[in-house]
Structure 1
Amino acid sequence: MKKTIKKSWMIVSALTIGMAVFTPHQAEATTAKTTNEITVKAEQQIKGTIKSVYGDSITIKGKDGKNYYIDLQKFSDKQLEKMNLVEGQEISVEGSLVQDYSDFYTFDVYKKSLPKEITKEDLAKLEKLFNQTKKLEKEDKYDELEKVNLEMDKITKPYILASWVPVSFEEFIEEYGFSEKNIVIKEKDEKQLKDIYQQWIKLEKSGNEENAQEKFDEFQKVLQPYLDVLNPPLTFEEYISDLELDIPAEAMPKLKTLYNDAKKADKDNNDQLSEKLWGEFDEMINPYFKPLSFEDYLSNFEFEIKANDQKQLKKLYEEATALDKKGDYEKSNEKWDAIDKILNPYLEANKEILISASKVTINGKVYISKH
């Protein structure tokens, strides 16, 4: 089923650049004025109520009725902790407009996660490479982007490894949660796992990535029987019962075979076969899924839709879901496109405006970003 657009992270700039011919003096004066105008327009002050909290970002319903997505990555973890952001709180935010969600990830944000020991020279190299990644990302040049990321990794990895303090084997194993389910690892296996773990750490510390990965794979192989007990694979019967679908008895044997074969392909890391089998499984089971009612579908949107548009949408939605159920996706896509056409103006009018915050006022306290 083709999904309609839910949200758009893009905002359209209100600034229009006029083209003309100037003398050098005029050009200099005009440039200065335009820069000033851009700064004024880019800086925003928003007052409103917190709708949702996502760690280092929040959404706000502004007092102006607009929706805002506020990025708080410029603030330190301590500042965020002190803010104690909660849904429903009144908040005031100052910051700059950004065009895309990816624009929040600046070099200042990136370097927050770097070891403090990194030199100024390497930091300068990283900043240059980071700026390249942003440019390549916007140009969708992902092969080149990967190469630049590898260059950055070569610079940062020695620092990361030097500052890395691995947890003890006991702490590492405890993280899996075996003790919570009273799963006891045999003494022989535990000794083997501990030896492998220590070898893996040495290989990681030495920067020998390939051998380190092989060693960790060896660790996982010994641990796998215990992981299977910890997280037993879902049987076909359990999977089907959770879906609560009305599937005829005659369809069950083939579905079960496809399910078990696909799970085996997953376990064998046979990606090509796995994709094929899961595709067949989905194609067979999809007709038994009941689509959301139009009313439930409409409840996904937080804005009001005109009665005439609702009437059109309901007709199109019911036609689209009926065609999806028949597997006639070519015709159903036409219906979904028509739905998008009706919804797009509403989505455009209600889209979230992206703000990179530099100042936050909440509970009578003011917080200024560190960057």
Structure 2
Amino acid sequence: MKKPVKKTWLLASALTLGMAVLTPLQAGATSAETTNNVIMQIEQKIQGTVKYFGGDGLTIKGTDGKNYYIGLHKFSDQQIEQLKLVEGQEISVEGSIIEDYSDFYTFDVYKKSLPKGVTKEELIQLEKLFHDMKKAGKEENYEEMERLYQAMDNITRPYELANWQPEPFEEFINEAAFTEKNIVIKAQDKEQLKTLYTEWVKFTKEDKTEMAQEKIDKIYTILEPYHQELYPPLTFEQYMADMEVDLTKEELAELKSIYDEAQKADKDKNEELSMKLWDQFYEKLNSHFKYEQISFEEYMADIEFEISQSDYTKLKQHYEKAVTLEKDGEEEKAGEQWEAFYKILDPYYEANKDILISASKLIINGQDLLPEQTK
């Protein structure tokens, strides 16, 4: 029997604003009543083994048999980089359950990326704007989100520009590895590029966006022939070398003609014609590929959760009917079978989806790891 879900309230204390923001949270977490009758969520403690670790999170299989996604957003980049977690390793996590992946991105997380120099008064403004933007996001009010983002950027951008240290010209110009590939930029071009780069840095620091963009556009125009030399376009024969398709001489000739025309359109910067020709090329090419449909057993092999025998039998019937109908070109009827297939399978995915935990403490090999204090 499924345990009833208890509605709790997560108190997000906005101390700098001198007020508290209450956010409804659906969770099965233990809760406690405070003296002012506000229900606060008590953190969970999860024990399990690591399934996957990467980026700013990890998935674990709990000792309770449930799957958890652990967000490490409260920890610093350096702390995350130093974690040496491997699949199967035991780990304990303390943290709070959240509803959505976007809830990992709190104001404290946002603060970690702020440039130096932002004042306390500006932090107060940013916090209010941040929460307003989160609210607009949940309401899918994208126009309001854009307005709020711009207001935040107006506060932070002067500090970002003041702290910005542009890379030296030589490093910038060789990001494409011209030197390593023995591609020599002409002295006249290099001198012009250096002047443009200096002007681009100047206008960027002055926040003159349009003028800075003009300079960077000119830089890439000068560099384009060198990029072409660095990454020459593949000939039709090179492109088709590893293709396992059965084509007649006439079909190959037709494809080559379209390919060469598309390459020319790319070179001429005729985007509309280029897109049309590439679409035509891939439509003709893809029609010659034969995709091998995997068996039902292969499809189900990676599913970790248990499915009842009755549903498993129905799933197999729908799957095999759908595959047969697709082979016979009965796409509409095949679609009906796929719809019936996923109508049975989707509830299993929903019931077994990862529980989201925002970690505030990790216990690895008996050692506690707490987030570093943010500014």
Question: TM-score scaled by structure 1?
Answer: 0.81
The answer for the alignment partner of 1:127 in structure 2 is: 127
CA deviation string 1:257-294 (max 9, x = no partner): 44455555566666655555444444434442404413
> How many corresponding residue pairs?
346
Q: Percent identity?
A: 53
Determine the C-alpha separation between the residues in 2 that align with 1:260 and 1:351: 48
2:88 is paired with a residue whose SS is coil
Contact 2:44 2:95 in 1 (8 A): yes
2:79 & 2:90 partners in 1: Cα distance?
17
In 2, the alpha carbon distance for the partners of 1:50 and 1:117 equals 39
Measure how far apart 1:161 and its partner are.
0.3
Which one of the candidate residues 6, 28, 42 is aligned to 1:15? 6
Residue 237 of structure 1 and its aligned partner are, at CA, apart by 3.7
Give the 3-state SS of the residue equivalent to 2:52 in structure 1. strand
SS of 2:6's equivalent? coil
Q: What does residue 357 of structure 2 align with?
A: 355
Counterpart-to-counterpart distance in 2, 1:267 and 1:327: 39
Structure 2 letter corresponding to 1:167: E
1:197-212 paired onto structure 2 within 5 Å: 197-212=197-212
Q: Distance in 2 between matches of 1:266 and 1:15?
A: 59
Deviations 1:324-355 (A, max 9, x none): 67776544433332221121122123211111
Matches within 5 A, 1:326-345: 329-345=331-347
Amino acid at match of 2:173: I
Aligned pair partner of 1:298 in 294, 297, 300? 300
Q: Is the Cα–Cα contact under 8 Å of residues 56 and 71 in structure 2 kept in the other structure? A: yes
Query: CA separation of 1:102/1:264 partners in 2, compared to 1, >3 Å: closer, same or farther?
Result: farther
Question: C-alpha displacement at 1:296, in angstroms?
Answer: 4.0
Amino acid at match of 1:14: V
Instruction: Tell me, yes or no, if the aligned pair for 1:51 and 1:61 is still in contact at 8 Å.
Output: yes
**RMSD over equivalenced CA pairs, Å:** 3.1
What residue identity is the alignment partner of 1:360?
Answer: L
- The aligned counterpart of 1:45 is 45
Q: Where is the strand percentage greater, Structure 1 or Structure 2?
A: 2
Letter of the 2:44 counterpart: Q
TM-score by length of 2: 0.80
Higher relative contact order (CA 8 A, sep 6+): 1
Deviations 1:286-315 (A, max 9, x none): 442404413443344333445554444344
- The letter for the 2-side match of 1:110 is Y
Task: Report deviation, 1:103.
Answer: 1.0
1:291 and 1:321 in contact (8 A); partners too: no
CA contact (8 A) 1:96 1:357 kept: yes
Unpaired runs of at least 5, structure 1:
1-11, 18-28
Structure 2: gaps spanning 5 or more residues:
9-31
CA-CA distance at 1:102 after TM superposition: 1.0
Inter-partner Cα distance in structure 2 for 1:333 and 1:316: 10
Partner Cα distance (1:94, 1:262) in 2: 56
Alpha carbons 1:49, 1:88 under 8 Å: kept: yes
Counterpart residue number, 1:146: 146
